[in-house]
Amino acid sequence: MRKSQRVRAADVAFVDRLFDELGRLPVDDPRVWSGHLLDALRRLLGCPHTGVWLRVVPADGTTPPGPMRFFEQSGLTPGQRADFHRLFVSNPGARHDPLLAAARSRFRPGTPVTYRREELVPEREWYRSPYVDGFRRSIGFDHTLTSAVRLGGGLVFGVGGWHDWGRRRGFGDRSHALLHHVVGRLGWMAGHLAQAQPAAPPPPARANETAPRLSPREGDTLSLLLAGYSEKEVAARLRLSPRTVHEYVTTLYRKFGVHSRGELLACWVGNAIASPIGEPHGTPRLYAPPNG
């Protein structure tokens, strides 16, 4: 490990002071203590954005994650905060987030799991994901460092930091160790937060007639696009000509009223369209992302 990536005595002293300060704040007012925590973590981790969240994330890997029970952030502009809430906090499309999909089975009761984005999702898969292209890029977030712990009732408590889109370097070993240590000491606050937050009702589903009707081939094309395949790869997978697939994509854009793949994904997962692809009562068929 490089010397610059080692945890220093000053880091430990900073964390000790932080928890001394947190202990003096009202635990029953999570906005106060979480705001102080996140401001301090921005300085400690050297990143422009931090956040703390609480949401239901079932461990089975098939049940979609629930809406956020609690979310607080530091370092976002008012516009970024509004976009973040719309795209991440209240958005049921988080089931398509490749990072959450890779991490959810790792969450453990009582013990934090700390991970960098590049540790769980390969670079090519990350940057080719329509979810990332449509959501993360639009808000300007790329490299992510997260530490999360599973609580009771399917709840997961997490703290994370984000670097701006386009930054070459992510988070180092020092930041990884420090965030893991901090979240490990937040157990009592996380438990109090979970008890204080009421269960959020599921988001209302749209009526079936609001979703456009798709043919089976259009449904297959949409499913592959959502999984990150290019038009050429869709053609090869479905054994169709590239021109035919392009016509299907054009039709999808027209039916959903969009002009790009990112807008298509945002329309599909961001608006909680209840009708499945090609059938009145079912679920969309999502393919695994392409290898490589």
Domain ranges of the chain: 3-196, 208-270
Q: Cα dist. 287→201, 217, 291 in Å?
A: 29, 14, 12
Adjacency order of strands within the sheet including 68-74: 68-74, 49-56, 155-164, 141-150, 113-116
Per-residue pLDDT of 246-291, as tens digits, reads 999 999 888 888 877 766 766 665 443 333 333 322 333 433 444 4
Those residues with Cβ within 8 angstroms of residue 260's Cβ, 6 or more apart along the chain or in another chain:
253
Rounded to 5°, the CA angle 28-29-33 comes to 110
Domain at 3-196: CATH architecture: 2-Layer Sandwich (3.30)
Q: Contact 174/50 with Cβ under 8 angstroms? A: no
DSSP annotation of 123: H
> What is the maximal distance between C-alpha atoms in the chain?
66
| pLDDT greater than 60 at residue 135 | yes
* % of the chain surpassing 90 pLDDT: 20
| pLDDT greater than 90 at residue 115 | yes
Predicted model pTM: 0.65
Per-residue pLDDT of 54-113, as tens digits, reads 888 887 767 777 777 788 888 877 777 776 666 665 554 555 678 888 888 888 888 899
Q: Cα dist. 33→22, 38, 119, 189, 213 in Å?
A: 6, 9, 30, 9, 48
**What are the structure tokens assigned to 213, written together?**
């009707």
136 HSE (CA, 13 A, CB side): 23
Q: Contact 278/219 with Cβ under 8 angstroms? A: yes
Per-residue pLDDT of 188-218, as tens digits, reads 788 878 877 665 444 444 434 456 778 888 8
pLDDT for res 207: 38
CATH of domain 208-270: 1.10.10.10
pLDDT classification of 241: cutoffs 50, 70, 90: very high
How far apart CA 275 and CA 105 sit, in angstroms, is 28
